[in-house]
Each structure stands twice: as C-alpha cells, then as structure tokens.
Chain A
Amino acid sequence: MTSDVRRLLEAHGRAEREVYMDNENSGRVPPEVVEAMLPYFNQVGYGHPSITNRPGWEAFEVVQETAEVVARTIGADPEDIHFTHSGTEANNLAILGVARANRSRGRKIVVSAVEHLSVILPAESLEDAGFKVVRAPVDEEGFVDQDVLAELVDRETVLVSVQTVNHEIGTIQRVRGLSEVVRDKNADVIFHTDACDAYGRVRIDADAMGVDMITLSSHKILGPKGVGVLYVADGVKVEPVLRGALSSQPLWPGVENVPAMAGFKRAIELAFEDFDGANERVRALRDRLMDSVLARVPETLLNGPRGEERVSDNLNLSFLHVEGEALTVELSIRGVYVSSGSACTSRILEPSHVLLAIGRRYEEAHGSILFRLTRYHTRDDVDYVARQVPEAVERLRRISPLGKG
C-alpha cells in the first residue's frame, strides 16, 4: 500500500505553485508552534504528567498551563478543562458521557442536523440503549430556528448539542438564543456546543453563550493534531467513556500528548494575539476569492450564509455539472488543495449530510468544494486559486455530458 501511494505521488508530481486551502480538514502548522513543541520530545517534560519525578512534573506543568490558556479564552475555570486527543474524542465524551451519567433523568437527545458526524454518530449509537435521538432541522443557510428547537425539547430531554460554527458552510449559530429557549423549556437540559470551527474566529464565552459543554480541537486552529478539549461546567455529570489508569484527565484516561499541548497553547496565543485584525484580513481575502470565482464561473452556487453570520475563513461553492472529487484531483495537480462534499469522496457514497440538510439536491452537493483560508494566505495565493478554479471547472465541464443545453 505504501509503495502504491508513493507511486501515485510520483505520478502526481508537484505544481510549481502550491496553495493549501484545505485547512478545514487539517493543515500546515506554523513554525512558531512547531518550535514550542520540540523541547517536549526530549529536553524537558518528556515524562508522564501523572508521575512524581521532575520530567513528569514538567509535563504536568504543560498540561496545566495549556488548560489555563484554554480556560482564559473561553471564559472558563481551568479545573473544568478536560483534554482528549482529538475533537472527535471530545464530542464522543460529551455525548456518551452525559447520556450515560444522566440516563435516569430522561432519554432524549436533540442534535442539529448539521452537526459534525462525531456528534451525530455517537448520539445515534445510543438508540440501542433506548435513547431517542432527534435531528433538529436547519434552514437553507444552516441556521437552527429557536422556535423549532424549543418545540423539540421536552421533559425527557437530557442533552442538546448545537455547534457554534458549521465546519462545511461556515454558519455561525445564534447559540445564546438557542440555549435560552432550551432552558425555558427544560432548565435541566445540558447544552453542548462543538466549537471546533469557531475557536479563534468567533468569540467563545461559556457563560455568555449559556452552554455547559464546549468542544475544541487543536488542529482546527493551526495547532498540531492530537489534542482535543472538552470543557465541562462545574456540576455537570459526565461518565468516562474510556477506562484506564494513570492520567491527570479523569474523564479521558491515557497519557496526555504533551508536546502537542505545548503546540496547541502556542497556537491559541497566536490566534488571540490579533484576533480581530487577523479575522478581518482573512474575511477580506475570503470575500475576494468568493467574488472572483462567482464572477468567473457560471452556474455556481454559494453554500451557507453571506455576511457577518458566516465565519471569516470558510468558502463552500457548488459547481454544477461537475463531480467534486474529480475537481479536487484536478485542482491538486494544479497545486490547489481543497476538499469536496461529493458522494464520490465518501466511503459510503453519500454526499455531505450538511449540504443535504440545507436542502441542496444531490447534483448540487456533487460538485461542492470546500475552501478554508488562514491568516497566512496572501492576496497572491487567493488570486492564484481564483485563476485555477475556473480553468479546472471548465476542463471537467468539457468532460461531463451534463449542462450542455
């Protein structure tokens, strides 16, 4: 297998110019962040954070400092910050842990229809244990409506999960309003928000948003892969999902990824250093890319909202009559790295559930491309992408039997 991939890469070659815009899925870690990690592999803090020796305490210091930085940026107490090794793990812990610890109070869970699958799938796995899972519908821009959500919450409801920002179409949910109507209906409901794609781009504050649990993931804010966070408000009962010994993380045993935490901490500091300025610049670049591609490529749809209620860095476009996976390959050859919500990219040949939830038809989801920018992109990068995309779409439209009148 490895050698196959190697041969593929050789046949693919490398374009003269490369612009990585698949930051939604993961991405390049800034040098300052890598630098912050390096000492923890073999110079300091290489021990186990739960052990009573110097390298162990040094490691624990990293865990603690990272918890403090996270806490400060989301208006929480460091004691309430729990580390996992990914956002997926944190979401699983939130859903399964709350359901199992609170099942005597009720067996209904409400999640929005556009949640990340690491929220939807663990929730639906609880159906076997007698839980009822309801997907709250969204409108065509991806917003959950307050009244619709309130309607779905009843006395039996233990948990509601609505993300802060959608990972595919950039919708910024009005979480505060949603948590209020949920509590009006049932004050005991535990409200979880997956903020993986909001962190560093939208201000997060546990109290102001009225939420009990928040999920974060390091690699979604240009940190390294390998650290996730679940904030759990004081008093909320969560049952551990994994069992094991030896960890400073009672809810998620297993050795902490200390070097990655050191990097995550640095990534947070960088993201918050010039929060508004950086977001404004990214938004301007994103708009430049959006306007330029929409002007140059006919029969193209924007997925998700426009304006202030769309996160600064996300762009999702559907190019009709072409298939998205082929387009990602075509763009990759041209040095433009993006992803697609097409059925062809999925193991089960099913298009993005987010695009279907906002009412896109299959053929519209089929040609969808997701771009996510960062503060490291330049105008030149954007202009390069804006030149390559129309050519790539044009080539595939020539191959396609559809859309020719």
Chain B
Amino acid sequence: MSTRVPLPYTPKVLELFRNPKNLGKMENPDTVAQAGSPACGDVISLYLRIVERDGVEVIEDAKFESYGCAANIAAASMLTEMIKGKTVRQAWEVGWQEVAEALGGLPPVKRHCSILAVGALRRAIRAYYGKKGRRPDWLPEGLTMAEKQALEEEEFIERMYGGRLERG
C-alpha cells in the first residue's frame, strides 16, 4: 500500500477514459502494431487505415485497444484523434509529449502510458513500410529516440518483473 501515489488525472484524461474515441479493433487494417507486454502489464494495439492521395500517404482512420490504465486509454484515444487525416510522415513526427500536453499533462509515473502509445504508432508505421518493402527517405533507418524510449519501457518492465520472477 505504501507504494501507492495519488494520481491527479486531468479532466481531459477522465473524459477520454469515459468516452474514448477510435476504440476497437479495425477489420483489415493496412498496418497494426502492439506495444507493451501482456506478461507485465500494459498492452496497446494500434490499427491504421492508410490511403494514398495525390501520391501522399494519409492516415484515413486509426483505432486502438488498450489493456492499461486510465491514462493509457486516454493517451491512445488522443493520439489516434491527433493523427487521423495527417500524412504518415506528419504522424511519425508526433511525440509523446504532445500527446501528454493535449491531455492537459500526465503525472510523471504515467508518462510511459503515452510513450507506449506513440511507440505503438511508430512500430505500426515501420511495419507498414516493411510490408511494402520500401523505406521513405524521411523514415530513419535506425530506431529514433522515442522508439528507443518505448523499447526501454518494455525492457524496464520486463527487467523488473523478470527480476521479481527469479526472486519469487
């Protein structure tokens, strides 16, 4: 019990938790990715529908599912809303801080909930081009800072629970 912290969520987080936008699985998405790990906690699935308009790839629709806390659900809802209508390239640029800001801020222990959402998005975009067998020149070859952060979140959780496992 002593490890519990009060979590002053913003009204925006609560509102999106109550009425999340873009919730649910997408049938035949053009790309899908998961971030997190079911064995340790948070999991988010992100689905994208991508269309080509005038030679530019645009995110026509985005949906999510979340096995996470209220902040994670709100962050995924916000992120999907922010990227709809954006070009894939623009969506790639969206950072977890922007998502957190749009939510009116997140308590420090809840930042990873937004990091994971953005991590899932970037993974979905990479998977999209992976399937197409090409990489646009704006898409960095190596992992970006944000992707590494998302990976670190996953590793951090694995490490913690992994450690616990051995101990138990």
Q: Residues of A with Cβ closer than 8 Å to B?
A: 1, 4-5, 7-8, 10-12, 25, 88, 116-118, 121, 167, 321-323, 325-326, 329-330, 333, 339, 342-351, 356-357, 359, 361-363, 366, 398-402, 404
Contact = CB atoms under 8 A, between A and B. Distances in A.
A363 B43 CA distance: 11
Interface in B7-24: 8-11, 14-15, 17-18, 20, 23-24
Contacts of B4: 339, 345-347
Contacts of A342: 41, 69
Nearest to A7: B11
Contact of B68 (A118, A333, A344): A344
B8 A329 contact: no
Nearest to A25: B1
Given A167-B1, A323-B69, A401-B67, A4 B39 contact: no
9 contacts: A7-B10, A325-B70, A348-B160, A349-B109, A350-B3, A356-B164, A362-B40, A362-B161, A401-B25
Contacts of B67: 321-323, 366, 399-402
A363 B11 contact: no
A8 B11 contact: yes
A333 B16 CA distance: 13
Contacts of B164: 350, 356
Contact of B65 (A10, A12, A121, A399): A399
Contacts of B3: 117, 346-348, 350
A366 B38 CA distance: 10
B6 to A, nearest CB: 8
Contacts of A339: 4
Given A25-B1, A326-B73, A329-B70, A402 B11 contact: no
B45 interface: yes
Contacts of A401: 25, 34, 43-45, 65-67
Contacts of A333: 18
B39 A363 contact: yes
A11 B14 contact: yes
A321 B43 CA distance: 10
B155 to A, nearest CB: 13
Nearest to A4: B8
B59 to A, nearest CB: 20
B136 interface: no
B69 A326 contact: yes
A10 B160 contact: no
Contacts of A361: 39
A131 B110 CA distance: 36
Contact of A323 (B68, B160, B161): B68
B42 interface: yes
Contacts of B23: 398-399
Interface in B34-71: 34, 38-45, 65-70
A344 B69 contact: yes
Nearest to B76: A399
B14 A8 contact: yes
A366 B37 CA distance: 12
Contact of B41 (A8, A117, A362): A362
A400 B1 contact: no
B63 to A, nearest CB: 11
A118 B20 contact: no
A261 to B, nearest CB: 23
Query: Of residues A321, A400, A401, A404, which shows the largest number of chain B Cβ atoms within 10 Å of its Cβ?
Result: A401
B1 A117 contact: yes
A350 B102 CA distance: 27
